[in-house]
Structure 1
Amino acid sequence: MSKCRVLCLHGYRQDALKLRGRIAALRRTFKSSVEFVCLDAPFEVPYEPTTEEHANSGETGENVKQLKWCDFKRDEETGEFLLERVEESLEYIASFVKTEGPFDGIFGFSQGGSMASMIMQRQLSTVDSPFSFRFAIFVSAGAIGDPKYISDQKVDLPSLHIIGETDAVVGNDRSRKLMDIFVNPTLLMHPGGHYIPTNKEPKDAFRAFFKELRDAEVAE
């Protein structure tokens, strides 16, 4: 059986290289069965240290890329984030999928997860969609709040949702709202915050999820 290929979308102010590092333990664990392909977002963000550790690390805008999948601003009345340049980003991802695909699934962390959720809905509701993902994995990802991009489209495909109980960047309510897009989502809560956990319990969750996908493929 060929390797399962997963397109991976990083978070805000990250890039593909940083995401590869953060999922290194997962890549090692599943190296014989899963290929994780990380993609840089198309838009650059003016460099800022994201933590005190980064500020003291010697990182600069000259040697570190900070990228984003779209522009956003908070609506003062509703508190929701209004999005811009989304269509450009979707076209960019579609072009990558066309040249580097096919991909079996999509993985999204934080802002990358929000983009992935939009892709999963659109591939079912759009005629001749360039996307054909069979499953999705979301880590610390929240539902889209911009009315322009909210869809009632339910996705009847496997999804794994990993949520940090103390995530102060993407609240648990937004992550659970994203889960509601899917007909039968799988949830793993972990006691940490806004990061990709790679200890035993998350690895076991990934292992069980990929096994279910393989078993379903064999049954077909």
Structure 2
Amino acid sequence: MNAEKRKMKILAIHGYYQSGPIFRSKLGSLRKGFKNIEFIFAEAPHEVPPEQFAKDGEDTVAGKGWWFNTEKYYFKATEPSNLSVGYEESLAYIEKLIHEKGPFDGILGFSQGASFVSILCALQQKKLSPINFKFAVLISGFKSLCALHAEFYDEPIDLPTLHVYGETDRIIPTETSKELSDLFINRKIIIHEGGHYVPSKKSIYQDFFNEMNINNL
């Protein structure tokens, strides 16, 4: 009698001003659509100042961030900076999470989470971290414009990747996501008609996940 085939395991990294539970909710359709995949949701260790997104007289839910590029603990993806406040703590957290709950077959990130994933891919290739995964999915990704992160984008990265972004994204411009995807040698690109969100259509990810499932398990 054949042993039951194990599930593929993916570490999911949320975007800026999100959280693990929020991202889990946003990936609800994917989790239900891919029952052969176990998603483990990370949560950034840094709280975003609520006033960054608060409107007059409106309460906001505390969100998390992986690093900040201003002294006021704000983050703006399209602004160059010499700061990456909190990045080292976030990297240590991810390495600890991988050690405790891994190994992971793949890693998936959205927005700032996808930017973080691109850095993790570079760290793995450069052997600067004990992390180890076989593929990555980057949704609405972008290169970090922090000067301290420039070293992570100085060479092509040879890792199977799926890049997903929206042609009407007003938060992360399409050309920015394309620039990041160009860094990866073994890449697939899906451009959807929407904006800055994780598209829920199973068909967007199906072929890539099937290929990774066959090759890596």
Structure-1 residue corresponding to 2:68? 71
Verify the 8 A CA contact 2:81 2:147 in the aligned structure 1.
no
Does residue 11 (structure 1) correspond to residue 22 (structure 2)? The answer is: no
Determine if contact 1:125/1:153 at 8 Å carries over to the other structure: no
> Superposition pairs for residues 192-207 of structure 1, below 5 Å?
192-199=194-201, 203-207=202-206
Give ranges in structure 2 of 5+ residues lacking alignment: none
Secondary structure in 1 matching 2:69: strand
Structure 2 matches for 1:1-220, cutoff 5 A? 1-31=5-35, 33-48=36-51, 50=53, 55=58, 60=59, 64-73=61-70, 79-82=79-82, 83-127=84-128, 129-150=129-150, 151=152, 152-199=154-201, 203-217=202-216
- Number of residue pairs aligned between Structure 1 and Structure 2: 202
Would you say the 8 A contact 1:8–1:38 is kept in 2? yes
Per-residue deviation, residues 61-106 of structure 1 (Å, max 9, x unmatched): 5xx43100001139xxx94244222122101110111111111111
Provide runs of 4+ in structure 1 moved above 4 Å. Answer: 48-52
Flag the 1:217–1:92 CA change in 2: closer, same or farther, 3 A: closer
2-structure distance, mates of 1:205, 1:216: 19
TM (normalized to structure 1)? 0.85
Q: CA deviation at 1:205?
A: 2.5
| Structure-1 separation of matches of 2:131 and 2:106 | 10
Q: Percent same amino acid at aligned positions?
A: 36
- Farther off after superposition, 160-169 or 41-50: 41-50
Per-residue deviation, 1:120 = 0.5
Q: How many Å apart are 1:176 and its aligned residue?
A: 1.0
Q: Is contact 1:106-1:137 (8 Å) kept?
A: yes
Equivalent residue of 1:84, what SS? coil
Q: Secondary structure at the match of 1:71?
A: coil
Q: C-alpha distance in 1, partners of 2:165/2:11?
A: 20
